[in-house]
Structure 1
């Protein structure tokens, strides 16, 4: 065992992914807190051979996970917490660790398949377009030859452009989504899988806006991404006829399943494009509040969240085409079988991935 070198970063990632402190890991592993601290600090690169096994058992990961010589990444500036003040540091660390674990797994999974995007993912710096996110959104729609009107499946377009969409459990930390560009991987968009369909679509469009418009953080990047999302899902020229001539709660409810965005997003868009006045907007928002729709829109108007396919297809390509067993795939990814089954449901394989020869 001690012919391999423990990676202090992997110990920390596995610990934080479990939501443990160093003291709690020490208790679980039977090591002293000082020993755990030194291991994470890189001060004990070659511990006794039983130490990696103790750590692995305590952290519910294979010992090989702790020996991966990979780099870990911090969270992007664009991560938006719904209630940041109430989110403890441990939850933030757990979020970062979960994201890093998925990146490690993606890197290994993508070595065995050749993903060939059908669409290009443009980079259109918003500063080159006078800060006009709607113009950028229109260019993306044109680049992807999207027909006018509502977008039937946004996740399909995003995945066809080579983006990996990763369903994730961000509920506890209050994050809807985040976008990462790391060396050696396609653009990755992590989405909170617990969101309703309308919120998921808008979040995906918002994160796509970051991927297309932003390389460096700016003070206005969140507002710009929201404006991009609204214009991508509800282009002014397309939605204008539906919103002009009077907007009511009933009309918003009628338009929601057609445009597949929330009633709130439709109302905000109506104000943005000048379909209603400030006073009309305020009146309708008060009606929304009185009906409780600002917290929960009518259940009968909900629609299923769009399901990403590429990540599951990559897993299926290993199982079906490359002949991996679930056990072998778990070993290759340095995860346990229960983790693999939980994070990557084994769905029906769809063709479309070309194996690397």
Structure 2
């Protein structure tokens, strides 16, 4: 969005981050530093906060659309998780939150925040523009097998032993076709999936869940997390299809790419090999199915309550109020979320990537999301 180093992130056309731009997170980073002073000679209005990538304008709680209507108790778990690695200036309040008894209801959560925090509207440094862009991302859930069998023939690999010795490492096409590259990865298979596009989306998102069927028929769900990549450049397969004249830019959705692959099975490798980057994974247990992978803040993401941001504008661990709409809809989406992740395409003051969680419905919502956005940050008084 993830966690040890993840490398790519978020969307380009038709709100399909997982297709046209890379969607996994860069290396685990400490929260951004304290707010920088304004440039020499610049006077800011009282109460205005200026960061490296955004200006925060003091606001009233009544400025936050539908603040009283949100199920804010759902955001408490994400907030407490973020407090495991608090942003600068949050240590005292996070200690209080971590020691508090579970907050019972939405009213109590709202009161806790209102008593302790100040809302600020976020806008760019160079213009008083309160609107920006929100896209979505998700955690794939893919059927897999421990051993190659039937249609399950596409391996997901651990990092090869010689990864550090070969820079850059073999390309995706070389790994698929060269015996010497395949030999280097032999024995490093975590599991096998049936669809090469499932493997690709796991690599683009940087992590995912595997529902593995064991030889005796038992099933278990595990997570594969980003462990490294082959040091090759990331190239969007969606962009390749557009450049080939196979898809229009306004129609390059992930479902459209899957449909193109279904109609053009002999060209699937050509499409996949247009992206030379391959991602390697490590397997992790999944003790809490409700928690997402770790974001760039270093804490697990919470479905529909965590976002990726530009940390120059919003520090990790900051509560954020979103004012946007549901994908492909005018239905308002207004809620309290936590800034807990980032990505290479998440750049700018009013810019967010909304974590929908795991599974097929989350994939559909994330793939359709490209909405206008207004956002407010909540900071300690």
When the two structures are superposed, what TM-score results if normalisation uses the length of structure 2?
0.23
Give the number of the structure whose residues are more often strand, by fraction: 2
Give the number of the structure whose residues are more often helix, by fraction: 1
Higher relative contact order (CA 8 A, sep 6+): 2
